[in-house]
Structure 1
Amino acid sequence: MTDLLNIKMPAPYQVGEEERAALSASIDKDELTELALELGNIPSPSRHEAEASNYVFEWLEREGFTPRNVGATPERQNVVGEYGGYGDGKNLLFTAHLDTESPTWEPDLDAARYRPETLENREWQECWLEDGKLFGYPIANDRGPMSCFLIAAKALKKAGFDLSGKLYLTACPGEIGPEPIEERRGVDYLGKDIGAHYLFHHGGVSPDFAIAAEGTDFGLTWQGCGYVVFRIRIYGQGIFTPILDTPENMLEHPNPIYRLGPIIEALHEWGRTYPERHRYESEGGISIPKTQIDSIRAGIPHSFGAGTEVVSLYTEAGLTPKQKAADVQHELTALMRLFDLDGFDIEPMVVRHGFEANADEVAPLVSAVGRATSLSLGRPLERANPVYSSMWRDQNVFNMHRIPAVTTGMPRWRPTPDDLADSALIYALTALSVCGRAEGRRNADTYKPVYGDKPF
């Protein structure tokens, strides 16, 4: 692990032990745990985030953080709250996502993907405290970290720390998905595009730095992978079953489903070497992209008798910040050309590139998180496990737009209430360190904006 405190770049404001003590005293661990459980127990699978979004809006309103809704559709709103902005300090944005990985809850679709016992797992939509640990996927990903930065903002306010820069508190839909593919297309199936992407462009936010609050076991990374999903279509010929002559070689079978065996074996071998061939390491993390076949479609089950002329493989491949989707497409095209096929085509159905922050530009934020981690946990900040820099996190949205961004947060798996409190304290200290303390609030009655030396 890399000790990120060895990166010597000062944060805008140096927090001290007295501020740590004041903020720690202002964090109510029981209140934080209750918030995480209440928010986590609101069912919020992708495309159904409205109730959780409303809960966050009402909490921000009740606590005085002047929230607003910003959404591409009425049912899937981004929520933005604000605190501070009384001076010339840097602006910091926290973001976390409202949706949680889960089945679709459409029985016919889920039956094609999940075992019945998997669908019965209560952790998909329920959260609870048991033996001192928090259970439930919604807390792990991502409403636990969301609760931590909400309580962090409340602690800053409770401790009387007015911020010079502005602190944005944002909750977004669609970070997990879905993606519009085939007949599931259009705005109803948008994921990331109506979440942090939409927030950045239309949410009225102007951060200098951003933190995607996600579970990283208290590590930090400033890079993330994207992904590309390719549809590989293999063509054949439909032959009426009673007149079919079955060849010995599967690749010579007219029904392209039979050709999948050798092709999948070749894709398997390609995928085994893909991670190390494209591994990318920087000061900010290690990205190890992975690949696998996500689904196969062929024929029409209720209209049978002549096989099918088309079979489609949907193959996902991770993309480090140094890769392009076209590079992977060239690899797959060369692989498919090894087979003597009637025809095939390869089309990218989804493309999302990975991104990283500029190491020098992100350094003040890393320094702030490092100081906060040291004050809170009594140990140095370390680079996150490679798994956390090998997936999509919404830090990618901000790094894409040249806003230096990191991901850092509580333990991902089975966190404790103490873990949540530690994470909230780190977030609060980081916000104070980035935004700085205001010398005194501006008097809104006497303030007049100027252009040059003349008032408007």
Structure 2
Amino acid sequence: MTRLPPASDPVTILQQLVRIDSVNPDLVPGAAGEAEIAIWCSEWLRQQGFDVTVLEQTPGRPSVVGVKRGTGTGRSLMLNAHLDTVGVAPGAVDPFSGDLRDGRVYGRGAVDTKSGVAAILVAAARASAGELAGDVIVTLVADEEFGSIGTEEVLRSFRADAALVVEPSSLELTTAHRGFAWFELELTGLAAHGSQPELGVDAIWHAGLVLRALDGLQQRLNAAPAHATLGHGAVRVSQIAGGDDAATVAARCVLTVERRMLPGQSPESVETELLALLTALTVAEPQFQFALTRLVARAAFEAEPQWPIVRALTANAQRVLEHPAVTRGEPFWTDAGLILEAGIPCVVFGADGEGLHADIEWADAPSVRALADILEGTITEFCGLTAG
């Protein structure tokens, strides 16, 4: 069995976690995935007295759930962080070093979000060492960086009264983030020789009409009232491909459209919005033919300030940091969107650092220790201690 560090120092644990390659194989074909780090975390949780379940509906992509039962008289709390990371730069020197230098832990995943995994492990172990009234449910999941299959699998089997999603946030409460939807738009034209374009229907020219229409949609989004922390929604074309050769009118053009959504906007509503825009083009240009397919969609997230989990986290952040807790919104998506969609109130919070998805990544060691202290206090307050 792997020699595991003591439960007292989350930075020591973080260093060991960074040294385990857990690059997501859906992002980098052939990459290591979560198997080794899942074994490490499972062993650690068992040593701390947690009941451990490994979920692995997708072979080679395990998620770990550790449960410490309370007396049944308090609220249950889920703590969620992801085990996978993005890839490393070609030729990077020792990208999994886990070195601690000048108060920073270096390596892929150090801040995103093995800092969160380490802090959760320590906080959950410390808080549950006493007799809690409610259950502590640690969920360390696969695949957040790509398809979120881990959190989806966890939510099919486990519930809680609230959840803390640990993602890097510089020790500020993330109370909202955008959702997103990706669509494939296929435009169908008619091939003809380039010397007689009037005999064909140019799907690439029709793509230009789409681009202009989407620009108009973006202008309307920008003119709408801004969300307090997220600003405005967004729409853009991220990929485009069409045409067969230089001398042929393009009979087909395919665009990938990304729509970033605000709270209150659903994948269904933005799809309806796009369909209306495209249908209007068929009226203006009768030869315009399209097929719109939704690829992936995730709803936006927004926490309510009166939720007990938000109040508990806010109070404990202020206690540890010795200043009022700061709240923020994020433009990117997290698994909090799935957890809230499942009906579990949640909030996002995490350590400080830099280099998310960049060549050099590091986590601020003091912030990792502060994060563990804040999470421990939040668990204790939310789940409650038994009397006596």
TM-score by length of 2: 0.82
Structure 1's 32 and 345: CA in aligned 2 closer, same or farther, altered over 3 A?
Answer: same
> Do the aligned partners of 1:127 and 1:138 also contact (CA within 8 Å) in 2?
no
Cα offset, 1:120, TM superposition: 5.0
Task: Find the aligned partners of 1:126 and 1:275 in 2 and give their Cα distance.
Answer: 44
User: Residue 264 of structure 2 aligns to a residue in which SS?
Assistant: coil
Q: Is residue 146 of structure 1 aligned with residue 100 of structure 2?
A: no
Say which of 360, 376, 379 aligns to 1:428: 376
1:344 matched to which residue of 2? 290
Deviation at 1:198, TM superposition (A): 1.8
What is the alpha-carbon distance in structure 2 between the residues aligned to residue 329 and residue 370 of structure 1? 36
**1:135-194 Cα distance to aligned partner (Å, 9 max, x none):** 44422222221111112123335xx423221111111112232xxxxxxxxxxxxx22x3
Corresponding residue for residue 395 of structure 1: 336
Structure-2 change in CA distance of 1:332 and 1:127 (3 Å): farther
Give the direction of change, closer, same or farther, for the CA distance of 1:65–1:326 in structure 2 (3 Å limit): closer
Is contact 1:126-1:138 (8 Å) kept?
A: no
Task: From 342, 365, 368, give the equivalent of 2:312.
Answer: 368
TM-score calculated relative to the size of structure 1: 0.71
2:156 is equivalent to residue 201 of structure 1: yes
Report the alpha carbon displacement of residue 93 of structure 1 after superposing the two structures with TM: 0.6
Equivalent AA in structure 2 for residue 226 of structure 1: G
Q: In 2, Cα distance between the equivalents of 1:369 and 1:411?
A: 17
Aligned mates of 1:67, 1:421 — CA distance in 2: 25
Q: How many Å apart are 1:272 and its aligned residue?
A: 4.9
Mapped to 2, the partners of 1:123 and 1:319 lie a distance apart of 38
Deviation, structure 1 residue 259: 4.1
> What residue in structure 1 maps to residue 201 of structure 2?
254
| 3-state secondary structure, aligned to 2:74 | coil
Provide the residue aligned with 2:363 in structure 1: 415
Whichever structure has more helix as a proportion of its residues is: 1
Aligned residue number for residue 311 of structure 1: 253
**Deviation string, structure 1 residues 344-387 (Cα, Å, up to 9, x no partner):** 23232223222434554x1x212211221122111111212x2x
SS state at 1:170 partner: strand
d(CA) in 1 for partners of 2:271 and 2:135? 43
Amino acid in the other structure paired with 2:19: E
Deviation, 1:307, is 5.6
The code of the aligned residue for 1:436 comes to G
Listed one character per residue, the Cα deviations across residues 67-102 of structure 1 (whole Å, up to 9, x for unaligned) are 111232232222101224134111111001122234
Change (3 A) 1:412 1:331: farther
- Is 1:220 equivalent to 2:173 in the alignment? yes
The code of the aligned residue for 1:169 comes to V
The answer to whether residue 280 in structure 2 is matched with residue 324 in structure 1 is: no
User: Which of 15, 19, 31 is the equivalent residue of 2:12?
Assistant: 31
Name stretches of at least 5 consecutive residues in structure 1 with no aligned partner.
1-24, 104-117, 178-190, 441-456
Cα 1:49–1:239 change in 2 (3 A) is farther
Aligned residue number for residue 218 of structure 2: 271
Q: Does structure 2 retain, via aligned residues, the 8 Å contact 1:44–1:51?
A: no
Secondary structure of the structure 1 residue equivalent to 2:363: coil
Q: Secondary structure at the match of 1:54?
A: helix
Matches for 1:28-427 after TM superposition, within 5 Å: 28=9, 30-39=11-20, 41-46=21-26, 48-102=33-87, 119-120=90-91, 128-156=99-127, 160-177=129-146, 191-192=147-148, 194-202=149-157, 205-240=158-193, 244-246=195-197, 254-274=201-221, 277=224, 279-281=226-228, 286=230, 288-298=232-242, 306=248, 308-336=250-278, 337-338=280-281, 340=285, 341-360=287-306, 362=307, 364-384=308-328, 386=329, 388=330, 390-413=331-354, 414-427=362-375
Instruction: Report if the CA contact (8 A) 2:204-2:253 is conserved.
Output: yes
Secondary structure at the counterpart of residue 327 of structure 1: helix
- Report how far residue 254 of structure 1 moved: 3.5
- The residue type paired with residue 49 of structure 1 is E
Contact 1:84–1:162 (Cα < 8 Å) also in 2: no
Q: What is the CA–CA distance in structure 1 between the aligned matches of 2:344 and 2:64, rounded to whole Å?
A: 20
Cα drift, residue 207 of structure 1: 1.1
What are the ranges of 5 or more consecutive residues in structure 2 without an aligned counterpart?
1-5, 28-32, 355-361
The answer (yes or no) to whether the contact 2:119–2:372 under 8 Å persists in 1 is yes
SS at match of 2:62: strand
- For residues 263-299 of structure 1, the C-alpha deviation after alignment (integer angstroms, 9 at most, x for no partner) is 3344245335535637434xxx546433322222335
Aligned AA (2:269): D
Question: Could you say what the CA RMSD is over the residues aligned between the two structures, in angstroms?
Answer: 3.1
Give aligned pairs, total.
Answer: 367
- Structure 1 pair 253/145, CA: closer, same or farther in 2 (3 Å)? farther
> In 2, are the aligned partners of 1:219 and 1:409 still within 8 Å (CA)?
yes
Partners of 1:280 and 1:287 within 8 A in 2:
yes
